[in-house]
Amino acid sequence: MKLIIHGGFFSESSSSEETKIAKQKALSEIVTAGYEYLQLHTALETVTYVVGLLEDHELFNAGTGGQIQSDGKLRMSASIMDGESLRFSGVINIEDVKNPVQVALKLMDKEDRVLSGPGALAFARQNGFEPYNPITPQRQQEFEEKRNQQNNKGTVGCVAMDADGNIAAATSTGGKGFEIPCRVSDSATVAGNYANKFAGVSCTGVGEDIVNVGLALKVVTRVTDGMSLQQATDKSFEELKQFDGFAGVIAISNTGEMYHTDSHPYMVWASFDGRLQVFN
């Protein structure tokens, strides 16, 4: 069993050592809780659970504490991909819910599995998701001071492989902050979140860059075609260099290989496979 998570990027220029330590502690606790959960649950259940924990933590740009768009509203996106069934579900630019990833899970068995905006919110309400304001005082202050653009490359994600070898991936974001209202990121697309029986990938960074190269899907496809996970990821990141693309990924393959990398250090991450590892 394997589990790896990310919490977006950490900016040494605009973040304190105290924040770095806090993120290390939070990711350590969440990945440990997630690995314990994985012992008795599927990969799909686990990635949903873990990303929900990340959404609930104000340190990360997803769910509570997400970035606010230029019109003053917080719109969130999240997706889940089950490598066993090859089902992808997600919500795009949903407002006023606590855990977008849970709404995405609710869509997994529906015929229409990716919803956006008011339709996503209506579906959430119909399925018992109560109104919730995810804007924190800090994010509101940042919005009012128009400082969001200085620290805008954050997303959370999780990839898990369960006891049966099944792989799943989930990704959630509050956006980059101060973007044009209703901008669509990579997080609820196969460019940013993808899994099959060979590998699973969750991305973070600049959504447009990730979409430009179809990053998550491309890595998984290359693993499916016979590359190792590291080879597939490194080759895909070479293609990002054409336009100085900004991205980070976490990934697991069906051989048990775990890998993480980023184009512009450094992504915050943690993994657990019987041994805890955390970014430093």
Q: Are strands 193-195 and 199-205 parallel, antiparallel or unpaired?
A: antiparallel
With a CB cutoff of 8 Å and minimum separation 6, the contacts of 62 are 51, 54, 55, 76, 78, 100, 154, 155, 156, 172, 173, 174
Residue that has been written with the tokens 């997080």 in this structure? 187
Residue 64 is a catalytic residue: no
For the record, the structure tokens of 113 come out as 């599995």
Residue that has been written with the tokens 């209202």 in this structure? 181
For the record, the structure tokens of 58 come out as 């104000």
Residue that has been written with the tokens 């339709």 in this structure? 119
Task: Measure the CA–CA gap between 10 and 3, rounded to whole angstroms.
Answer: 21
Asked if residue 250 lies in contact with residue 260, where contact means CB atoms within 8 angstroms, the answer is yes
Among candidate residues 46, 48, 64, 155, the one labeled active-site is 155
For the annotated catalytic residues, the residue numbers are 155
